[in-house]
Chains A and B, each alone.
Chain A
Amino acid sequence: MESFLNRYRNITVLLLVIFAQLVLLAAQVKNDQDVRVIRVWAVTTVTPVARVAEFFRGGGAGFFKRYILLHDASEENRKLREEVGRLRLDNTFLRNEISTADRAKALQVFQQHTQSKMIAANVIMTGVGANANTVYVNRGSSDGIMRGMGVITPDGIVGKIVAVYPSASQVMLISDPDFAAGVISQKSQAHGILRGQGNDPLCKVDYVRFEDKVEAGEVFYTSGDDRIFPRGFAVGVVKSAKDGTPFKEVLVEPTGIQHGVEDVLIIMESIHQAIPELPPANQPMYISPAPPAATTPEGQATTATGDATTISSGTEADKLRSIYKSAGEAQNHVFGTGLPGSKPPDFKNLPTTPGGPPTKSAAPMKPPATGAPAPAAGADNPGTRLQRQAQVPTPETPAKSAPSNAITDPSKAAPKSAPPKQIVDPSKAPAKTPAAPPKGPGGQPLE
């Protein structure tokens, strides 16, 4: 051995000196991912060993569990856990949407919604040191991982990628004192910055204004302000909130790392989602649509939205409209169905009451005194026809002039699918299209 060292002393010293300077150089130089080269070398050297060790450990344990203890139960359990995690994400998303809108709208939004693109990863080793709040996952730059990507579980956020290596990535957990993420409370929408506290399992939320109301048990979600986590992912539950000046002292129990971190999801492309809302104090009530008019007895007042022919009270315009409508129905005419140029109903002999017998020279109402000469009886002109068509709503007009009560009106939920009969019913739009008798060019009512 001594002769060997004497023989190769020069080259040995040369290699040692070169190696020492290479280490010195690698300790200073950073690669394009802003990671020092010596760390890249160290992780690249250690990671394959850890992967091999994990492979043999997992393989041995898996063999024991799958073939000796429970045949296929472990595999099934793993699949079920993956499915449960995925379903919990879907469930959270659906609950968020359903709590903020009606079911039809939520389903429509859900179909159009594209969730954040994620990639599954396994934790293969932890950071070095007793106070290490970092873990390494088995996804690296070869999988498209980049520095700054968020890491989550279905329960909540876990951390963010702080260093990327070819076959692994380093994740800074949210319990690390250097970690920071923008959060927002569920109830009061109070903004803050989540920070880890090292060995303390609780995280603190900084910069919550003292006038904001934050209570214990409230849930914090990611706000999306940090450009790392998309908005709407669970962060943790408030354990304590003390008043302070100028900011509150809020401690949060993180839900993402509460039960340890084994399988995680790395957010490749972020898509924000809504913060789930709490049930409001006065929820909107559902009001069913009005019963069909044909079932009510003639002349009996039913509901406020009933058929116009059964309304005994109302404005003069309503009465006049009912008279004209009954005259048209007596001649088997359906308003709104005639083509331009077709023969209009004969309004010469109008009944005095809706549904009553027609009279020869009935004057349903006095026209306003305009001073203009009245046209000849029975005279019809293009202007009259245009006005008459304007009174009878087309299938498109009721939807546009429908009442604006979007929550209680079921027809608003699916206006395009409503049957045409409901749409052309003039009683649906009494306010925006007030009924008026057909008038001539001088404002005289047509007879």
Chain B
Amino acid sequence: MSYSSGRILLNSQREGQISRFRTWVLFAVPLASILFQVYVPLFFHWLAFIEMPLLVVVYFALMRRSPISGLVVGAVVGLAQDSLSKNPLGMFGIVNTLVGYFAASVGLRIDVDHTFIRLLLTFFFYVFHEVFYWVLARSLLGQHFALELQRIFVLGLLNAVIGISLFHFLDRLRETS
């Protein structure tokens, strides 16, 4: 069954296909993404720009098409990121929760199997992730680091491109119905 179609907007939520994944995929993929983020840059520092956990959250939220499921995935992955960072617990958690919720809400109305849509959404959620994290760090932690929008846009584009490849790979792990 092909999930891609010529239309972008869905006429109703029923047209959207809810993807199902095996249980081990729901645990292994986020875990692997976090391991990738903390381990791979040790050897390939230039890969540190890849926000693999964010891409995984966006993917699962889009494909599950359930806001609650999306925010739970985002919260769990974000808290796991927080626990491995020097920041207080909750910073990545809050941001990824919102990303998961909004991605799932968008996935209800847009055909998320479309490649361009995936590219656009991944770029948008990367920028949202970075900007909202900057706002939280500034307001709650009192950290005043610069907001480099140009750098964020470039890295967002790169992450979106990588996300397209990742999403194609993850599409093979979902159960067809």
Which residues of A are at the interface with B, using a C-beta cutoff of 8 A?
9-10, 13-14, 17-18, 21-22, 24-26, 28-29, 31-32, 37
Q: Which of A17, A26, A31, A32 contacts B97 (CB 8 A)?
A: A17
Question: Does the CB pair A32–B142 fall under 8 Å?
Answer: yes
Question: Does the CB pair A25–B90 fall under 8 Å?
Answer: yes
Distance in angstroms between the alpha carbons of A10 and B106 in the assembled complex: 13
Given known contacts A14-B97, A21-B79, A21-B93, A29 and B71 CB-to-CB distance under 8 angstroms = no
Asked if B88 is at the interface (CB within 8 A of a chain A CB), the reply is yes
Asked if B127 is at the interface (CB within 8 A of a chain A CB), the reply is no
Distance in angstroms between the alpha carbons of A14 and B68 in the assembled complex: 7
Q: What is the interface of chain A mostly: helix, strand, loop, or mixed? A: helix
Question: Does the CB pair A10–B101 fall under 8 Å?
Answer: yes
Instruction: Tell me how far the C-beta of A125 lies from the nearest C-beta in chain B, rounded to whole angstroms.
Output: 27
Distance in angstroms between the alpha carbons of A9 and B101 in the assembled complex: 12
Complex contacts, A29 vs chain B, CB 8 Å? 88, 140-141
21 A-B contacts (beta carbon < 8 Å): A9-B68, A10-B67, A10-B101, A13-B67, A14-B98, A17-B71, A17-B72, A18-B97, A21-B75, A21-B90, A21-B93, A21-B97, A22-B90, A24-B88, A25-B88, A25-B89, A25-B91, A26-B140, A28-B88, A29-B140, A32-B142
Asked if B119 is at the interface (CB within 8 A of a chain A CB), the reply is no
Most chain B CB within 10 A, of A13, A14, A22, is at A14
Q: C-beta contact mask, B67-93 vs A, less than 8 Å → 1, else 0?
A: 110011001001100000000111101
Q: Which of B90, B93, B105, B142 contacts A31 (CB 8 A)?
A: B142
Q: C-beta contact mask, B17-55 vs A, less than 8 Å → 1, else 0?
A: 000000000000000000000000000000000000000
Instruction: Tell me how far the C-beta of A179 lies from the nearest C-beta in chain B, rounded to whole angstroms.
Output: 29
Instruction: Tell me how far the C-beta of B128 lies from the nearest C-beta in chain A, rounded to whole angstroms.
Output: 15
Complex contacts, A17 vs chain B, CB 8 Å? 71-72, 75, 97
Given known contacts A29-B141, A37-B140, A14 and B94 CB-to-CB distance under 8 angstroms = no
Distance in angstroms between the alpha carbons of A241 and B114 in the assembled complex: 85
Complex contacts, A37 vs chain B, CB 8 Å? 140
Complex contacts, B78 vs chain A, CB 8 Å? 21
Distance in angstroms between the alpha carbons of A17 and B94 in the assembled complex: 8
Given known contacts A13-B71, A28-B89, A22 and B94 CB-to-CB distance under 8 angstroms = yes
The residue on A at minimum CB distance from B108 is: A10
Distance in angstroms between the alpha carbons of A25 and B68 in the assembled complex: 21
Complex contacts, A25 vs chain B, CB 8 Å? 88-91, 93-94, 140
Other than the given A25-B89, A28-B88, 17 more pairs (CB < 8 A) read A10-B68, A10-B105, A14-B71, A14-B97, A17-B71, A18-B94, A18-B98, A21-B90, A24-B88, A24-B89, A25-B88, A25-B90, A25-B94, A28-B90, A29-B140, A32-B142, A37-B140
Instruction: Tell me how far the C-beta of A35 lies from the nearest C-beta in chain B, rounded to whole angstroms.
Output: 13
Complex contacts, A14 vs chain B, CB 8 Å? 67, 71, 97-98, 101
Distance in angstroms between the alpha carbons of A28 and B94 in the assembled complex: 15
Distance in angstroms between the alpha carbons of A20 and B141 in the assembled complex: 17
Complex contacts, A32 vs chain B, CB 8 Å? 142
Instruction: Tell me how far the C-beta of A10 lies from the nearest C-beta in chain B, rounded to whole angstroms.
Output: 4
Distance in angstroms between the alpha carbons of A188 and B71 in the assembled complex: 69
Distance in angstroms between the alpha carbons of A427 and B22 in the assembled complex: 116
The residue on B at minimum CB distance from A31 is: B142
Complex contacts, B101 vs chain A, CB 8 Å? 10, 14
Complex contacts, B67 vs chain A, CB 8 Å? 10, 13-14
The residue on A at minimum CB distance from B72 is: A17
Complex contacts, B90 vs chain A, CB 8 Å? 21-22, 24-25, 28
Distance in angstroms between the alpha carbons of A28 and B101 in the assembled complex: 25
Distance in angstroms between the alpha carbons of A28 and B90 in the assembled complex: 9
Complex contacts, B98 vs chain A, CB 8 Å? 14, 18
The residue on A at minimum CB distance from B79 is: A21
Instruction: Tell me how far the C-beta of B35 lies from the nearest C-beta in chain A, rounded to whole angstroms.
Output: 23
Distance in angstroms between the alpha carbons of A24 and B94 in the assembled complex: 10
The residue on A at minimum CB distance from B105 is: A10
The residue on A at minimum CB distance from B89 is: A24
Distance in angstroms between the alpha carbons of A86 and B167 in the assembled complex: 76
The residue on B at minimum CB distance from A29 is: B88
Complex contacts, A22 vs chain B, CB 8 Å? 90, 94
Most chain A CB within 10 A, of B68, B89, B90, B97, is at B90
Complex contacts, B68 vs chain A, CB 8 Å? 9-10, 13
Q: C-beta contact mask, B130-162 vs A, less than 8 Å → 1, else 0?
A: 000000000011100000000000000000000
Complex contacts, A24 vs chain B, CB 8 Å? 88-90, 93
Complex contacts, A28 vs chain B, CB 8 Å? 88-90
The residue on A at minimum CB distance from B67 is: A10
Complex contacts, B97 vs chain A, CB 8 Å? 14, 17-18, 21
Complex contacts, A21 vs chain B, CB 8 Å? 75, 78-79, 89-90, 93-94, 97
Q: C-beta contact mask, B88-125 vs A, less than 8 Å → 1, else 0?
A: 11110110011001000100000000000000000000
Distance in angstroms between the alpha carbons of A25 and B78 in the assembled complex: 12
Complex contacts, B79 vs chain A, CB 8 Å? 21
Complex contacts, B93 vs chain A, CB 8 Å? 21, 24-25
Closest 7 CB pairs of A and B: A25-B90, A28-B88, A10-B67, A21-B90, A21-B93, A24-B90, A21-B94
Most chain A CB within 10 A, of B88, B98, B142, is at B88
Instruction: Tell me how far the C-beta of B139 lies from the nearest C-beta in chain A, rounded to whole angstroms.
Output: 10
The residue on B at minimum CB distance from A24 is: B90
Instruction: Tell me how far the C-beta of B83 lies from the nearest C-beta in chain A, rounded to whole angstroms.
Output: 11
